Amino acid sequence: VGVDRYRFPARLTDSSEHGDHPGGAATIHDFGLEGECEGPDLILVSLDVHAYSHPYAACPFVIPATQRLIGQPLMSGWRKAVIAQCAGTAGCTHVNTLLIGLGELSTMIYFLKINASVPYAAETLADGRWTQGALEVSPGLAGICHGLRTDGGALAAAREQEAKNA
């Protein structure tokens, strides 16, 4: 959308093929959302939630509660904010699942930022250039998961690249 501003869509659909349904399956839940976040903390600046299919007429009544999440950062405390605003009868487990999943946007945004400087490819991944670029974008990625463990191959290759560039 712009510098440090990102637009996103998400959708959750579940269905049942058991029972007597016309066409052989029935959609139970179909919820979607779209919105935008911005800045280094990925502050939520807009959010539209849609209830396309749901088992109870009251299900869409939880949507207004989601608007209280606008202004919250996705990078830190997002899960707690979703639970605080949309837990229990104030929310819906399916909508909450979508909302909590927005915390993973940080991974995709890091990918976009890294890819802008070092294209993601088998070669750049294998020789450590891509991981080195990732660490330049976000040094805190070291040790964040099994693939980026401090004693692992990905960080060893990145350190080799850093030494070559020094």
Taking only the tens place, the pLDDT of each residue in 84-111 is 999 999 999 999 999 999 999 888 888 8
In this structure, the strands spanning 43-53 and 26-38 are antiparallel
Query: 12 pLDDT band (50/70/90 cuts)?
Result: very high
Query: 19 pLDDT band (50/70/90 cuts)?
Result: low
The pLDDT tens digits for 47-91 are: 999 999 999 999 999 999 999 999 999 988 999 999 999 999 999
Residue 162: partners with Cβ closer than 8 Å, 6 or more residues away: 132
- Which residue in 46, 154, 161 sits closest to 102, CA to CA? 46
17 burial level (CB within 10 Å; 0-12, 13-18, 19+): exposed
pLDDT at 59: 93
| Residue 153 one-letter amino acid | G
pTM: 0.76
In this structure, the strands spanning 43-53 and 5-16 are unpaired
Strand locations in the chain (E): 5-16, 26-38, 43-53
pLDDT of residue 131 exceeding 70, the answer is yes
Quick one: average pLDDT of 127-153?
89
Average pLDDT, the chain: 90
pLDDT at 111: 86
Quick one: average pLDDT of 143-156?
91
Query: 143 pLDDT band (50/70/90 cuts)?
Result: confident
* C-alpha–C-alpha distance, residues 136 and 57, integer Å: 49
152's tokens? 């692992």
